[in-house]
Amino acid sequence: MKFSIIYEAQMVDTSPASEQACFHEMVEQSLFAEQMDFDCIWAVEHTALTQYAHMSAPETFLAFIAGKTSRIHVGHGVVCLPMSMNHPIKVAERIATLDILSKGRLHFGVGKGGTQQEAGAFGNKLEDLTKQVDESMYMIPNIWKEEVFSYKSDLIDIPPRPIWPKPYQKPHPHMYQACTREETLVTAGERGLGALVLGFSGPDEMAKKNAVYRKAYKERDPKKQVGYRPTEHFAALCPAIVLDDQDQARRIGLRGQRFFAESINYWYGGGPKPSVDDLSAEQLANVLTATKEAIVAKLGDEKIPVGDQHTGMYNTNNAYGNVDDAVKYVERLEAAGADEILFLMQMGTVPHAAIMETIHNVGKYLIPYFRVKNAKKK
């Protein structure tokens, strides 16, 4: 099992000084993660989502991390593939270049983005993007394969052109898809892509998602394969704050999770701006639970089936606590079928010092525990 960190570049204060500090702190955290034996640094891609995600140029962030490290991998989780946002030729060029410069340490996830706020910035409607994303994800590996590439559809017309460079990894980097709902897990499995499960699902829900993905992957039609490197891989998001002080870790984690949930609801659901109230862990858990109950009641009134995509964000059962708490939680994710743990620490209100202590505790205690445990199974 792999152990990684995923970044949104989330922040409460959006002043230039705060924004700059956030990016430099993420670099410091990433370099420390390499020292502490983490496997990969992942970065999302979002545009125009104030507070929720300022990671709008992940290719630059990941290139900077790759250039400052020698072992740890870097991953796009994910590149958004609407064509006016990221033209497939430019994506192919950027991915291949970073793969070369990192000497094969790059992972390539694909997706479409989640809001009209983002889609509209590039002149798109969210509901029109699936076909663009589908064409691009199939197109890009062929750009790498062919010396002269051309493509024509009702969406895009690329005349014959030589596109360089080609990736370091052969035939190309591992490819993944962002997955939240069951249909995206099925799509990832059917297309032979790794699944990046980025919702706040607990272990029980992760086990259900894993079963859906594994079944789709096992039964896939080779003709639907995206690219030329089938990747069976289930990566599970794991919100985590791991401190010596168990109570403080839970308070910091739940406060960060509340900010995360409310900031995403502001952009995705039209809710109010996120709160930064510094409450007790019990009070924060009560707020998240009450919000979850309100959502369930509202959806019930509207006769809409309630799914984890609606309520998972308000799950208060995460890896917040001391090392023993975190180990027990990750063991449940492992039992649910996770091949990789995507630790989410950088949530708006979480201080840099708490993230650094979490990286230290995970690297010094949790990762070695699982490395030894898994080595004994071989």
- The pLDDT value given to residue 290: 85
- The mean pLDDT of 73-78, rounded to a whole number, is 98
The structure tokens listed for 119 are 């889609």
Question: Would you say residue 26 has pLDDT above 90?
Answer: yes
CB 56 within 8 A of CB 45: yes
- The mean pLDDT of 286-298, rounded to a whole number, is 76
* Percent of the residues in the chain that have a pLDDT greater than 70, as a whole number: 95
pLDDT per residue over 96-105, tens digit each?
999 999 999 9
pLDDT per residue over 205-249, tens digit each?
999 999 999 999 999 999 999 999 999 999 999 999 999 999 999
What are the beta bridge partners of residue 36?
none
Classify residue 154 by burial, with Cβ atoms within 10 Å: 0-12, 13-18, 19+. exposed
**Taking the mean position of all CA atoms in its chain, how far away is CA 113?**
12
User: Can you list the domains of the chain with their CATH numbers?
Assistant: 2-244+316-377 (3.20.20.30)
Average per-residue pLDDT for the chain = 94
Asked which of 57-61, 120-124, 248-252, 271-275 is least confident by mean pLDDT, the reply is: 271-275
3-class secondary structure, 197: strand
- The pLDDT value given to residue 315: 79
Residue 3 is classified by DSSP as E
Question: Would you say residue 159 has pLDDT above 90?
Answer: yes
User: What pLDDT band is residue 75 in, cutting at 50, 70 and 90?
Assistant: very high
In the numeric block, the tokens 């983002």 are attached to: 118
3-class secondary structure, 32: helix
Which of 240, 250, 182 is CA-nearest to residue 212?
A: 182
- The pLDDT value given to residue 375: 85
User: What pLDDT band is residue 324 in, cutting at 50, 70 and 90?
Assistant: very high
Question: Would you say residue 296 has pLDDT above 70?
Answer: no
Rounded CA-CA distance 259/77 in Å is 21
* The model's pTM: 0.95
- The mean pLDDT of 98-117, rounded to a whole number, is 96
User: What pLDDT band is residue 297 in, cutting at 50, 70 and 90?
Assistant: low
